[in-house]
């Protein structure tokens, strides 16, 4: 009887420690501001989105994201309204700095779509990251979904 209880306790202890170990997957949400020289060169629009990623190692991750870049009314006086969404896949490289800070850069593929707006191509960005806790992080980033569109945003994420 004692052996069964000891075995059950050992298995429970092993199982609980495996749940505590962080995995390489993470996800988060972001909010920011988008400027598009194609749709309107005089105003910034609120953007928001979500992302999922996988840490390949300590310095490289692969990330998939979706973002609503903004909604433009009366584009360049045409009476036309446009809502633009972005789907992106990118490789993120990061270098740790002092304490909890890191600097990162991304390169990848971006697809913009919306009301008669379809554009795809290279995506790049740079930013600064901060680890609030072992599994919670924040980022500030400047991203170029196209050569005529810039998004500046802040995000918070959780490592599963």
93-151 per-position pLDDT tens digit: 999 998 899 999 999 999 999 877 788 999 999 999 999 999 999 999 999 998 889 99
Pick 23-159's CATH classification: 2.40.160.20, 3.20.20.70, 2.40.10.10, 3.40.50.300. Answer: 2.40.160.20
Nearest residue to 125 (alpha-carbon basis) of 154, 99, 100, 98: 154
Secondary structure of residue 101 in the 3-state scheme: strand
Q: What is the 3-state secondary structure (H, E, C) of 7-55?
A: HHHHHHHHHHHHHHCCCCEEEEEEEEEEEECCCEEEEEEEEEEEEEEEE
- pLDDT at position 107, please? 98
Tokens read off for 7: 């075995």
Tokens read off for 28: 């988060």
For residue 134, the 8-state DSSP code is: T
Average pLDDT, the chain: 87
- pLDDT at position 9, please? 54
- pLDDT at position 14, please? 47
Tokens read off for 32: 């920011």
């Amino acid at each position: 009887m004692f052996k069964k209880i000891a075995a059950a306790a050992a298995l429970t202890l092993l199982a609980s420690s495996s749940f505590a170990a962080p995995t390489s997957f993470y996800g988060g949400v972001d909010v920011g501001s988008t400027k598009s020289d194609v749709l309107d060169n005089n105003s910034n629009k609120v953007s928001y989105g979500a992302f999922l990623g996988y840490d390949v190692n300590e310095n490289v991750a692969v990330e998939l994201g979706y973002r609503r870049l903004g909604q433009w009314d009366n584009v360049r006086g045409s009476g036309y309204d446009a809502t633009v969404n972005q789907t992106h896949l990118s490789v993120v490289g990061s270098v740790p700095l002092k304490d909890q800070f890191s600097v990162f850069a991304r390169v990848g593929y971006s697809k913009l779509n919306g009301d008669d707006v379809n554009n795809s191509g290279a995506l790049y960005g740079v930013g600064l990251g901060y680890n609030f806790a072992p599994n919670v992080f924040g980022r500030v980033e400047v991203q170029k979904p196209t050569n005529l569109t810039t998004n500046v945003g802040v995000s918070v994420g959780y490592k599963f």
